[in-house]
A and B are shown apart, each in its own frame.
Chain A
Amino acid sequence: MADGAGRQGYSPPVPTSRLVFQGVRRRFGRLSVLEGVSGEAAPGQVLLVTGPNGSGKSTLLRCLAGLLAPDAGSIEYREDDRPLDTAERRRRVGFVAPDLAFYGELTVRENLAFFARLRRVEPARGLALLDRVGLPAERMAGTLSSGMRQRLRWAWALLHRPRLLLLDEPFQNFDAPGESAVRGLLAEHLADGGMAVVANPSSLDFDHVDTRIDLGR
């Protein structure tokens, strides 16, 4: 188990967890999207996945989240040295992606309260996160602008205090306050010993990158 590279004297205050994936393959019909991708993430680390459009970044993240089953390869995720199966991993990760949507007929607060109950987390956590990202609690989720929807995705992703964040285009549509709010949340997550896998079409200014995978062909 390595400390985050370049961080002297870093000792994670929370139990250790680790994500390791090897040889992940996935095809859709005749189109091979992922061809043997491997990588890992450790507490406090960020794994950056880069590549042009269509190179499989979103597919990889969905495989890691348990939303897609890879055709081949292995994905191992451990928390406290206890390996979790796919179903457990699915519920434990925090996921942000452009196609994540919420219930338009419910308010922002009601959406988070619902998912808080599913995740067996107190609803106050949802309200606190809404404050952090800056969202009006009583707005109907269907009336949110794209930037506000992105904030809601972040709030939802962090609801259950996940150890592993899987972020697919996490900063899209943000204005400056929104982006700085979530970057702050990400920094806290990493400081608490969490890990992150981030997929960005372009390598944005990202100071914490510890490892990098490039899916470009």
Chain B
Amino acid sequence: MWTPASTWAAEALAVFVKEWRCEFRTRYALNTLGLFAFTTLVVVSVNLGPLGVSTAQGTAVLPVLLWLILLFSVAAGLPRTFVQEEESQTAVALRLAATPSALFCGKLLYSLTLVFALAALVTPVFAAMMNLTVESPGLLAGALAAGGYGLAAGSTLVAAIIAQARSKGTLFAVLSFPVLLPLLLLAVEVTRNAVLGDAAGVALPQLLLYDASVTIAGLMLFPAVWNP
């Protein structure tokens, strides 16, 4: 009926399931990410929405704001996935029991679902509140998917690094910003193209290349980060 998890993938899946099971019982990340995102959203739209940003200004500014909201929400809620393991000392058991690459992928999958859920919730509300019309919704979805992936992957690896240091909160922001900056710039550009409906010279391939690079770097570096 139930067979032993004999594959690496099943191990990663077990980690993923465990993350979500714990998350549903505490709702920490969902609350943090959600509250942070919507608070920022309200602040932004209160200032820019009613004044009616002109289309030209809107196209320049709004994609940046959207990604800033996503970035800061992720920074607020995502590092906990590794920080919590260290602080509640469950990391010892994990170090002895889990295959590092499977652990990384399980955590990455969890981060991905969080980021995608966040993006899916925030973006329509953002577009509505800011009166933003998007010419290529397909490209926007691509930007959010590829950009969100990079955000999750980069943040997961950096979270694993800072979890074993002191002053984790500030350290995460300090370390992740330079790593995520190229991603953000690329994602903003593709988002801007999606808003304008201009597909020429779209930076989506570079974005995907970034995603691939960070994933490979994460898989290769995580064992050294996780284990002594």
Task: List residues of A whose CB falls within 8 A of some B CB.
Answer: 65-69, 86-87, 90-91, 93, 95, 97, 99-106, 110, 114-123, 156
Q: How far is the CB of B164 from chain A (nearest CB, A)?
A: 12
**CB interface residues, B 189-228, toward A, < 8 Å:** 223, 227-228
Q: Are B90 and A103 in contact (CB under 8 A)?
A: yes
B175 within 8 A of A: no
Question: For the complex, what is the distance from the CA of A115 to the CA of B21, rounded to whole Å?
Answer: 14
Q: Is the interface of A mostly helix, strand, loop or mixed?
A: loop
B4 near A115: Cβ-Cβ < 8 Å: no
Cβ–Cβ contact B6 & A101, under 8 A: no
Report chain B residues within 8 Å CB of A120: 4-6, 11
Q: How far is the CB of B11 from chain A (nearest CB, A)?
A: 6
Question: For residue A122, which residues in chain B have a CB less than 8 angstroms away from its CB?
Answer: 2-4
Known: A67-B228, A100-B89, A106-B22. A117 touches B96 (CB 8 A): no
**Shortest Cβ distance from A98 into B: residue:** B89
Identify B96's interface contact among A68, A93, A104, A114, CB under 8 A. A93
B93 within 8 A of A: yes
Extra contacts, 8 of them, besides A90-B95, A99-B92 (Cβ < 8 A), are A91-B97, A95-B96, A104-B88, A105-B25, A106-B18, A114-B17, A117-B5, A123-B2
Contacts of B6 in A (CB 8 A): 120
Chain A's nearest CB lies how many Å from the CB of B39?
Answer: 26
CB within 8 Å of A: which of B92-109?
92-99, 102
C-alpha spacing A99/B93, complex, angstroms = 10
Is B227 a contact of A87 with CB atoms below 8 Å? yes
**Chain A proximity mask over B8-51: 1 for CB below 8 Å, otherwise 0:** 00110011011001100110000000000000000000000000
Contact surface of B with A, Cβ cutoff 8 Å: 2-6, 10-11, 14-15, 17-18, 21-22, 25-26, 88-90, 92-99, 102, 223, 227-228
Cα-based distance from A102 to B95 in the complex (angstroms): 12
Partner of A66, one of B10, B17, B18, B227: B227
Expressed in whole angstroms, the Cα–Cα distance for A103 and B22 within the complex equals 8
The 8 lowest CB-CB distance pairs between A and B, nearest first, are: A117-B14, A101-B89, A105-B25, A117-B5, A69-B228, A118-B97, A105-B22, A114-B18
Contact between chains at A68 and B21 (CB < 8 Å): no
- Chain B: CB-nearest residue to A113: B14
Residues of B within 8 A of A100 (CB): 89, 92-93
Contact between chains at A103 and B18 (CB < 8 Å): yes
Q: How far is the CA of A119 from the CA of B15 in the complex (A)?
A: 12
A117→B93 contact, CB < 8 A: no
Q: Looking at the complex, which one of A67, A69, A93, A121 makes contact with B92 (CB distance below 8 Å)?
A: A67
- Whether A99 pairs with B18 at a CB distance below 8 angstroms is no
For this complex, 27 residue pairs linking A to B, each with C-beta atoms less than 8 Å apart, are: A67-B92, A68-B228, A90-B95, A93-B96, A95-B92, A97-B92, A99-B89, A100-B92, A100-B93, A103-B18, A103-B22, A103-B88, A103-B90, A104-B88, A105-B21, A106-B25, A110-B21, A115-B97, A116-B4, A117-B10, A117-B14, A118-B11, A120-B6, A120-B11, A121-B4, A123-B2, A156-B93
CA distance A67 to B99 in the complex (A): 14
Closest chain B CB from A26 CB (angstroms): 11
